[in-house]
Amino acid sequence: MEPDTETSPSPPRPAAPARTLLGYFALVLAVALAVGAATYLFASGGEDDDSGTGGLGLENPYPNTGPIDPNRPREGEKAPDFALADARDTSKVIKLSDFRGKAVIVNWYASWCGPCKNEIPALIRAQEALEGQLVVLGVDFLESSGPATSILDSFGATYPAVLDASGSVAEHYRTSGGVPVSFFIDKDGVLRATRRGELYEKDLPGFLAQVGLEYSP
C-alpha cells in the first residue's frame, strides 16, 4: 500500500480582531480630520468672532482694531484694509488706507527677530530717499508697545508702526507663520509684490519699481 502523500490544508488565518480594525479606522479618520481642519484654517483664516480674540485665539487689548476688509491679500488686487493701535501712542488707531496716495511697504517685524533688525536701516534709507512718495509701515507681531518701539528706536527709525498684538491681521494676511514679511502696495492701494523672509537692500529697487517708484540705494 502506497503511503498517503496528500497534505492537509493549512488552517485559515484568524481574522483581525474587530478592536484592531476599529483602531485603524479611528486613526485614519483622525488624520483626515486634522488635515481638513488645517486646510480650512489656512484658506479661511479663522474668521474673527465677537469674543475679542484675534485669529490666533489671543485676546485683543485694543478695541475696534483688526482686519477691516474681508478679502484676502492677492497681488494685483486692493490690499485688505486694517486698523491697528499706534505703537508709539496706543490711544491712536492707524489704518492702512490712511496712506492712500503714497506707495506703502507694510513690514511685519518683531523685536526678537534677527532678520527684522537687519532690514530696518535699509527701510529707513528708502523712505528718506523717497520722502513724500513712500511710507514704510511697521507692523509688530504679538508684542506690546515697549518691545515694538525699542527695536525701532535703537536704529533711529521714525516711520509709523502699529501693534498686531493679537495676531488677527497677520493671520488675515497669512503672515503668522513667521516674520519678517513685506507687502508692497502702490499709491492706489493695490498689492503689487510680496517678500517673505529678509528683505535685502539690493532687492529694494526691483520691488519698488513694481509700485511705480525709482530707487537706487
pLDDT at residue 5, as a whole number: 45
Helix (H) or strand (E) holding 38: helix 18-44
* Confidence (pTM): 0.75
The residues, ordered by sequence, that sit 6+ positions from 157 with a Cβ below 8 Å of its Cβ are: 120, 123, 124, 138
What share of the chain has pLDDT > 70, as a percent?
73
Sorted by where each begins, the domain ranges of the chain are: 15-44, 66-209
pLDDT band at residue 209 under the 50/70/90 scheme: very high
- d(CA 13, CA 35) in angstroms, rounded, equals 35
- Residue 39, all three cell numbers: 486646510
- Residue 190, all three cell numbers: 493695490
- d(CA 63, CA 72) in angstroms, rounded, equals 22
Tell me: domain 66-209, CATH 3.90.380.10, correct? no
| Inter-residue contact 82 to 104 (CB < 8 Å) | no
Residue 211 CB coordination number (10 Å): 21
Tell me the pLDDT tens digit for each residue of 15-65: 445 455 455 444 444 444 443 333 333 333 333 333 334 456 688 899 999
**Whether the predicted pLDDT of 119 surpasses 90:** yes
pLDDT band at residue 91 under the 50/70/90 scheme: very high
Please provide residue 161's backbone torsions phi and psi, each rounded to the nearest 5 degrees. Answer: -145, 145
Burial of 8 (0-12, 13-18, 19+ CB in 10 A): exposed
Mean pLDDT of 133-159: 98
Tell me the pLDDT tens digit for each residue of 6-25: 444 445 554 445 455 455 44
Euclidean distance between the first and the last CA atom of the chain, given in angstroms as a whole number: 105
